[in-house]
Structure 1
Amino acid sequence: MPELIQIHDHGVVRELNMARAPVNALNPDLCVALREAIAAAVGSGAAGLVLSGRPKVFSAGLDVPHLLSLADRSALKAAWGEFFGAARALAESPVPVVAAIAGHAPAGGCVLALCCDYRIMASGPFRIGLNESQVGLAVPEGIQHLMRRVVGPHRAERLLVAGEMVEAERALSLGLVDELVDIDDVVPRAVHWLKALLELPRKPMLQTRALARADLAAALQPEAVPLDRFVDDWNDPDTQAGLRALVAKLGK
């Protein structure tokens, strides 16, 4: 079985490359592998992390066909729990994390990117955003907070309510991503940014970072992303119709 997370070391920086073909759909196995890879990297002394994805697709978000196959409520709740566990692992990482976004990042892919310290995206016709409302899902408060903290309350409201996906250039202008580079330079630039940050005095940098990101970790605690309500929304007939239409469209 292929490794779901491929590890590449760049000196003191470790790259965690999501490698679930074809589009890094976030099923429980990938989410668990990501959480474990973060813990292992930190435990082995990595000073910074780069989260990367597949060429032209960072992550296509949650594995909707897998979730639709789960008839049991507890299994569905557990699957969503693993996703939010992976997001929390990024948000609570004690070392800086850069999202190297060399392609599209809708929905859950965008959530993972928003949990990182810095986002570098490939320039070109790639899109990023939280498009949940387009398939009938309400975005929980904790995830809305992630968007508000990077683009501001009013702009976040407009993007979230419309479920808008924005192309790379607009994402940069909104502050949704921090830099655009050529697709082949996304990971090298992420490594370079991290290594420059790591040249700062370590303890005060990490202490300041922890204070600045405390709201991010708090936003992903269970009370801010109530799984029972999420499962209820998922099972709503309108949501199910929207999700099945999405799957049918993707299958064509």
Structure 2
Amino acid sequence: MAEKTTDFAPLAFPRDSAKPVMTLSKAGHVFTLTMTSPPDNRFNPTFVKSMNEALDIVEDWALKSHRGEPCALITTSSSDKFYSNGLDVMYLFKNPDTWFISDQYLQLLKRVLLFPVITVAALNGHTFAGGLLFALCHDYRILRTDKGLLSLNEIDLPSSLHPGMAWIARAKLPPTTVHPLIFEPKRYGGQAAVDAGLVDAIAPADQLLAVARKWADQGAPKVARAGPIVSELKLGTYADVVEKLDIRMEIDVRKFMKPKM
């Protein structure tokens, strides 16, 4: 199918801020969302709101304004060290927002898990805790060969896992990976991450986005044919995970973590 869509220069989010935390660009039929929040792309209300605004644009393009055309999404980071280090723990200590994790962060994970286009996470650096859970909600993950460790390090924080978080790991990873990932916690990088089922491929830093683009290119035509069926298939596949992610519970990290992050 010939591409009828146009590329566009990066849009910055939040749209009304002098300090954007991410950008969204488009080349051909592939959108690229680049997280730019220093130092390590942590999830807080501004970050989540910005990501939802960016995802709104991609979803509208795929299902409304350009329905019937190929479409895919790559997420990555502008940092040379981190893809994402997870939840913004200092925000959670400074603000008594005990519903943020359930009402905003977990709902974002659900949205990415069920997103109506093929999604590829280009992991250009360390991907820990809530950042790894976010990456696992993508359809595919490509890891930089020479740098970047993956871990669910909640036991060292220490922090519990909401049932939805645990079920993401259970649904996306082999049982032989889940236990050492959570309880050692083992850190995986390079080929070991492929062997453990955490990522689908590895690539040198200068080829990471190109390889991610190949995976996105393979999935984009499926969106043109299937449209909203893509999301329906994901829901059918991950119904148990969605049910757990929708468990609304108050979480106060100050009760079990120290403000040293």
Q: TM tier, shorter chain?
A: 0.7 to 0.9
Match of 2:52 among 35, 44, 59: 35
Change (3 A) 1:4 1:65: same
Query: 1:250 maps to which residue?
Result: none
State the match for 1:9 in structure 2.
26
Structure 2, gaps ≥5 residues long: 1-17, 63-69
- Supply the distance in 1 between the matched residues of 2:223 and 2:148 (Cα, whole angstroms): 36
Q: Which residue of 2 aligns with 1:47?
A: 71
1:201-212 aligned at under 5 Å gives the runs: 202-204=224-226, 207=229, 210-212=232-234
Other-structure match for 1:235: 254
The AA in structure 1 aligned to 2:94 is S
Where structure 1 has 5 or more consecutive residues not aligned to the other structure, the ranges are 248-252
Larger RCO: 1 or 2 (CA < 8 Å, sep 6+): 2
TM norm structure 2: 0.81
Shift of 1:218: 4.5
2:43 maps to 26
- 1:49 shift after superposition: 0.6
Deviation digits for residues 116-141 of structure 1 (CA, Å, limit 9, x no counterpart): 00000101241112111111212222
Residue of structure 1 aligned with 2:82, choices 54, 57, 65? 57
Q: How many residues of Structure 1 are paired with residues of Structure 2 in the alignment? A: 236
By percentage of residues, which structure has more helix? 1
Distance 1:225 1:161, change over 3 A: farther
Q: Which amino acid aligns with 1:124?
A: D
Judged with a 3 Å threshold, the aligned counterparts in structure 2 of structure 1 residues 210 and 56 are, in CA distance, closer, same or farther, namely: farther
**Superposition TM-score, scaled by structure 1 size:** 0.83
Task: Indicate how the Cα distance of structure 1 residues 222 and 156 shifts in structure 2: closer, same or farther if over 3 A, else same.
Answer: closer
Deviations 1:188-233 (A, max 9, x none): 21112111223458435974674255343651446654432x33xx
Name the CA shift for 1:100/1:137 in 2 (closer, same or farther; >3 Å).
same
Indicate conservation of the 8 Å contact 1:98/1:116, yes or no: yes
Match among 76, 85, 92 for residue 107 of structure 2: 85
Q: Are 1:198 and 2:214 an aligned pair?
A: no
The equivalent residue for 1:76 is 98
CA contact (8 A) 1:28 1:79 kept: no
Aligned residues: percent identity?
22
Deviation at 1:155, TM superposition (A): 2.6
Deviation at residue 5 of structure 1 after TM alignment: 1.9
What do residues 114-169 of structure 1 show as CA deviations (whole Å, max 9, x unaligned)?
A: 01000001012411121111112122222122212232224312321233322232
Alignment of 1:179-190 (within 5 A): 179-190=201-212
The answer as to whether partners of 2:194 and 2:202 remain within 8 angstroms in 1 is yes
Contact 1:122–1:181, Cα closer than 8 Å, also in 2:
yes
Q: 1:130 aligns with which of 152, 155, 178?
A: 152
Coordinate RMSD, CA, aligned: 2.4
One-letter code of the match for 1:161? F
Does the CA contact (< 8 Å) of 1:140 and 1:224 recur in 2?
no
Is the 8 Å Cα contact of residues 114 and 231 (structure 2) preserved in structure 1?
no
